[in-house]
Chains A and B, each alone.
Chain A
């Protein structure tokens, strides 16, 4: 379809965007309002209703806060919240501790080798999340490859089962989200002026001091972006605790899923979604601010 005739290029620097630009804004804006923003209002509405197992959909609309009260008073839900935050936080830390040296090594490698090294980090991301989590099931099972290996080496004659524990969930999160940590860290470290480190060394700073006072602060935007990219989805993670965590590991994403698909309690599941959203609104806003700033800072 032909666009409407556009005004002369340098008409004026008005705040009203030109017609072509208006289409470019309106189309995705409308889409996101209808399919992303509006549904949250629906979730809130349903969360205030009550479960009606015989109706279709199984909801009786209302204005009750009972679902939210239940979430804050029932030990099971409270434990699920705290577990999710704790597991997400510790796995994010571990991912950072592993991802930082990796990004650092890639950024300091010879320029012609960097594309290959980066591709090796990104490749798992282009395969399947589900299959990568599945890969650990065979590794960590009771008679799995890891335990067979441990027995074979004789170092641990009677290894316990990792599958079905929080350990497995941690491993799964670190494994699945490692590329999300390395990429923003690399982007920050790549821009770093290594001459600054030489200057610090010339002025007598020991390598550790130079790292702590120069490299680390300058890569802070990458650290924040990477941590948020791991932490936010990890809090609401479902596949990893479901396949690797077993019944013993309570996480809030799994609670939401079970309330919805197993118990058919749509209002309670909606209330969980609202709480999850409120909990993550701070980190998400932080991530957005940083994303916007890093794009504007480009030349």
Chain B
């Protein structure tokens, strides 16, 4: 038993090295003086300055942030409803279909969802006269796949906690809506928070579906990064990567502290 545990622990360390060495190298090379990402030519903040003067990159980032804010909020509302229905609704007609539809976007290959949503928007443009492809269509696409993740988080949280709290509130005369608002919602608030963050991150990072539904004049941050990375390594992307890792790590540490305090 001991040797098994030691073996597993060794592989755990190897796994962490595998996960982090590439990230650390990317971050280190953001301070490289050379344009060649693979040759170290001394410490420099050149690429950091360059990124902060790169207007195309900055406006793409601003657009991505706005899209992520809106779509994370929409998918949290829809995902809360879906997760609540899955965990609490009595058997109803179409329950199986509903359950499948909620889970499927999580694993559906993105290229398939991308092309199908684009065709929907093209059809809508043709027969309903809109919406124009851009901000709105991207928000709809992101909401559709991230609401699943929120729903799963909410459903898991609801399945975990004691249902008698809700029943007690109802026995004391609270309407189902009042019960939901005063008992259920506060209890699942942490799950909702992490669901929102998850949806936000997924939206901020999505390339494939966005590329399909974005239309000609819209460019989000991942689209921008992808088009520059296609041509080879780009030190400004290293800077961006460093920023992303710092923000993600800070957010994780802060949210970890908050949940532990509770």
Contact = CB atoms under 8 A, between A and B. Distances in A.
Given A40-B116, A108-B8, A295-B155, A57 B23 contact: no
B187 interface: no
Interface of A: 3, 5-6, 9-10, 13-18, 20-21, 23-25, 27-29, 31-33, 35-40, 42-43, 46, 57, 98-99, 101-102, 104-106, 108, 115, 117, 119-124, 126-132, 134-139, 141, 143-145, 148, 175, 178, 182, 197, 201, 207, 210-211, 228-229, 232-233, 235-239, 242-243, 253, 256-257, 260-261, 266, 269-270, 273, 276-277, 280, 283-285, 287-288, 291-292, 295-296, 298
A126 B90 contact: no
A130 B225 contact: yes
A235 B109 contact: yes
Classify the secondary structure of A's interface with B.
helix
B3 A207 contact: yes
Contacts of B12: 101-102, 105-106, 117
A27 B248 contact: no
B43 to A, nearest CB: 17
Contacts of B23: 124, 127, 132, 135
A42 B119 CA distance: 7
Given A20-B180, A29-B98, A287 B103 contact: yes
A145 B20 CA distance: 15
Given A25-B89, A46-B119, A3 B19 contact: no
Contacts of B159: 295-296, 298
Given A101-B11, A124-B19, A131 B109 contact: no
A79 to B, nearest CB: 18
A292 B99 contact: yes
Nearest to B78: A28
A6 B101 contact: no
B112 A276 contact: yes
Contacts of A236: 109-112
Interface string B197-234: 00001001101100110000000001001100110110
Contacts of A235: 109
A115 B256 contact: yes
14 contacts: A5-B175, A15-B93, A17-B90, A28-B102, A32-B102, A43-B116, A119-B256, A130-B205, A137-B229, A175-B19, A229-B107, A261-B211, A280-B109, A295-B156
B217 to A, nearest CB: 16
Contacts of B103: 287-288, 291-292
A229 B15 CA distance: 19
Contacts of A291: 103, 152
A38 B91 CA distance: 24
Nearest to B95: A25
A40 to B, nearest CB: 6
Contacts of A288: 99-100, 103-104
Contacts of A99: 15
Task: Give the most central of A27, A29, A99, A124: most B CB within 10 Å.
Answer: A29
Contacts of A124: 19-20, 23
Contacts of B57: none
B62 interface: no
Given A18-B176, A134-B26, A29 B252 contact: no
Interface of B: 1, 3-5, 7-9, 11-12, 14-16, 18-20, 22-23, 25-26, 29, 37-39, 78-79, 81-82, 84-94, 98-105, 107-113, 115-117, 119-120, 122-123, 126, 140-141, 143-144, 147, 151-152, 155-156, 159-160, 170-171, 173-177, 179-180, 201, 204-205, 207-208, 211-212, 222, 225-226, 229-230, 232-233, 237, 240-241, 244-245, 248-249, 251-252, 256, 260
Contacts of B144: 31-32, 35-36
Contacts of B248: 123, 126-127
B109 A126 contact: no
Given A15-B90, A121-B19, A134 B1 contact: no
A125 B252 CA distance: 11
Given A175-B22, A178-B15, A239-B208, A101 B117 contact: no
Contact of B26 (A38, A135, A144, A276): A135
Nearest to B178: A6
A127 B111 contact: no
Contacts of B155: 295
